Amino acid sequence: MDDPEETSKSAESFWAQTISPTGKAWMLGILALCFVSQTYLVYSDPTPTRVLVGEELAGRRVWLANNCQACHQLYGFGGFLGPDLTNAASRLQKPQLADRLALGKGQMPKFDLPEDDVTALWEFLSAMNETGIGQARNPVRAGVSANGIPSNSPSTLAVQKILKASGDQGAISGFEIYRSYTCVGCHVLFGESAIGAPDLSLSGLRLSAQEIQSKLEMGVPPLMPPSGLSAEKRAQVQAFITFLGEHREEALALVEESTDDAFWDNLPWWEF
């Protein structure tokens, strides 16, 4: 049986004899270049610093006092029982936040907060939303624009085009609910999201209408809470998800047609 120490020495001797001094110099040079490049990227990050003031700072105190970080994340740091809230203000309105706090949802308990605290928390989340994107995502497949808001990405445009041509009002309404409620915080149109939520188009292919509506009504513990939508809205979201599954290949073909080399320039490399 070979002696591990002798094997290690043999390997070191092999590389010492195989790599010339010039090769070693090149390797050290490449390593130094990588270090310099990484340092440059870190310290030249163009993201502006956002200093919290007034109500925003008060909202941060509300966030900490109520231990929101135990379940939610900011920039991926925090608990994982709830979604990342870095960009919550891009998909929620203040009244929705107030309702969610007052009523709770799924695993989220009710919070009896004074109106001033709700306002401060909203200002804090709005400030956080302006600082960047909380979770890395593919802007083509996710159905989000560069600032994280689902609007004019290739996926969104492709789905909108197919929906408009179909005239399916139920699916069209379901798509708008998907975009305006918290669904978009976890799920993307084509592909698994950054937090592991399944591809909605594949869900539309694999699940029956009854199964989709059941998941929307009851949630999928421990990560997906009940949607809190009315029966009518659940039916509309289900119609959209089913429609998305049925037209998956058509939509992806449109995405590929509309995606050119400019995608690589727009890809948020720093997020990854």
CATH of the domain at 71: 1.10.760.10
| pLDDT at residue number 243 | 94
Does residue 158 sit in the same domain as residue 263? yes
Q: What mean pLDDT do residues 93-98 have?
A: 84
Q: Is residue 120 part of a domain?
A: yes
Q: Is the pTM of this model over 0.85?
A: no
| pLDDT at residue number 14 | 61
Q: Is residue 45 part of a domain?
A: no
Does residue 184 sit in the same domain as residue 240? yes
Domain enclosing residue 100, as ranges: 54-129
The DSSP call for residue 108 is B
Pairing verdict, β 73-74 and 77-78:
antiparallel
Cα distance between the two ends of the chain: 44
CB proximity list for 187: less than 8 A, separation 6 or greater? 178, 193, 197, 198, 200
Lowest mean pLDDT among 106-120, 151-165, 206-220: 151-165
Q: Which residue has the tokens 């001797």?
A: 13
pLDDT-based confidence at residue 147 (cuts at 50, 70, 90): very low
User: 229: burial class by Cβ within 10 Å (0-12, 13-18, 19+)?
Assistant: middle
Q: How many domains are contained in the chain? A: 2
Q: Is residue 36 part of a domain?
A: no
Q: Is residue 17 part of a domain?
A: no
pLDDT-based confidence at residue 124 (cuts at 50, 70, 90): very high
The DSSP call for residue 77 is E
Phi, psi of 56 (to 5 degrees): -60, -45
